[in-house]
């Protein structure tokens, strides 16, 4: 069997082995997928060791996505722009290839699974860290009318606006602080890690109308604090990041195996029916 793994620290919570295990069973691909906890100072050694022993592909998670990007010999265009990589593999000549499937996963979950088109829509993105940088390119490629990046540290949002100015096309791309965003928005994506601290980005209630779709890139066993707030404001649709997680995995699987897994059935297996 071909060997794959997710590398992170910590990694025991990762759902990737389960997801890829289901993909493999479903498609009949002869592969195994495990989790590897790399010591914080030994990411490069762990990756090199894995491939030296015949490993075929790696997913990379917190806190190593930037290091994976640096380690690569060749980066896909989308990985290049994301500044981070979540998918590694070797090409025929043994070069370490890096891709980033996070943005594609988010866009696919929104457009295909949830039926929410981004084209010509007014979008608010909360946060300006690595998670947001990783998804901006694919979001802009959908040609929204407007993308506002709001962040606690506004200068970081402005930095992303500069970085992605060339990808904006006809999209009006701007930066703001949370308190000054002008809603309501068609779509709000929460890409901050505020929920980890039990915090909410202090966005005004007026950002949400009864036609707003809210997407929290985080997920948890129960509704995230951000999505709870969005529900209370009467958002039309409230989604969490489980779909993105499964779709980014599917995109990695396609890169490695050349086969598209069926994500719907995996979605049903992973998501306990919610009230
Ligand atoms: P990630 O890889 O998850 O994006 P990151 O690069 O550290 O991690 O970025 C974290 C993001 O969450 C940043 O936008 C951060 O805001 P700052 O740039 O102002 O630090 C945001 N964030 C983290 N904790 C937050 C909180 N309690 N309230 C609001 N925003 C928060």
The pLDDT assigned to 273 comes to 62
The pLDDT assigned to 185 comes to 98
Q: How far is CA 94 from CA 48, 176, 254, 255, in A?
A: 11, 44, 19, 16
ipTM above 0.95, yes or no: yes
Is the pLDDT at 275 greater than 60? The verdict is no
Taking the C-alpha atoms of residue 232 and residue 120, their distance in angstroms, rounded to an integer, is 26
Is the pLDDT at 130 greater than 80? The verdict is yes
Q: How confident is the model at residue 260 (pLDDT cuts 50, 70, 90)?
A: very high
What is the distance in A from the centroid of ligand 1 to the CA of 234? 25
Beta strands in 56-207 (DSSP E): 57-60, 74-75, 87-90, 96-99, 122-126, 146-150, 172-176, 187-190
The pLDDT assigned to 31 comes to 98
Q: How far is CA 222 from CA 76, 136, 240, 242, in A?
A: 35, 27, 10, 12
> Domain spans of the chain?
2-100+243-270, 103-240
Would you say the CATH fold of 103-240 matches that of 2-100+243-270? yes
- Topology classification of domain 103-240: Rossmann fold (3.40.50)
Q: In CATH, which of 3.40.50.10860, 3.90.550.10, 3.30.465.10, 3.40.50.300 is domain 2-100+243-270?
A: 3.40.50.10860
33-51 mean pLDDT? 98
The best mutation among 126, 159, 160, 192 to test binding of ligand 1, ranked by most ligand atoms within 8 Å of the C-beta, falls on 192
Taking the C-alpha atoms of residue 93 and residue 99, their distance in angstroms, rounded to an integer, is 17
245-269 mean pLDDT? 97
Q: What is the pLDDT of residues 153-198, one digit of tens each?
A: 999 999 999 999 999 999 999 999 999 999 999 999 999 999 888 8
């Amino acid at each position: 069997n071909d060997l794959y793994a997710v590398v992170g620290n910590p990694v025991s919570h990762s759902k990737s082995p389960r997801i890829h295990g289901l993909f493999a069973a479903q498609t009949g691909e002869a592969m195994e997928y495990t989790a590897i906890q790399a010591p914080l100072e030994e990411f490069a050694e762990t990756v090199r060791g894995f491939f030296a022993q015949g490993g075929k592909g790696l997913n990379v998670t917190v806190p190593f996505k930037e290091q994976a990007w640096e380690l690569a010999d060749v980066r896909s265009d989308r990985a290049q722009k994301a500044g981070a990589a979540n998918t590694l593999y070797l090409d025929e000549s043994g070069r370490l290839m890096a891709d980033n499937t996070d943005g594609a996963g988010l866009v696919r979950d929104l457009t295909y699974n949830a039926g929410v088109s981004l084209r010509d829509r007014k979008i608010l993105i909360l946060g300006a860290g690595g998670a947001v940088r990783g998804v901006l390119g694919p979001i802009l490629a959908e040609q929204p009318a407007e993308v506002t990046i709001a962040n606690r540290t506004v200068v970081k949002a402005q930095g992303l606006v500069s970085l992605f100015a060339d990808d904006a096309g006809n999209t009006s791309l701007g930066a703001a602080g949370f308190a000054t965003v002008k809603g309501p928005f068609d779509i709000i994506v929460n890409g901050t890690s505020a929920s980890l601290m039990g915090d909410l980005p202090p966005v005004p209630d007026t950002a949400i109308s009864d036609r707003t779709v809210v997407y929290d890139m985080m997920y948890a066993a129960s509704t995230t604090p951000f999505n709870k707030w969005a529900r209370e404001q009467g958002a039309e649709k409230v989604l969490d990041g489980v779909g993105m997680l499964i779709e980014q995995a599917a995109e990695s699987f396609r890169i490695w195996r050349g086969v598209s897994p069926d994500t719907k059935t995996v979605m049903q297996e992973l998501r306990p029916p919610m009230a």
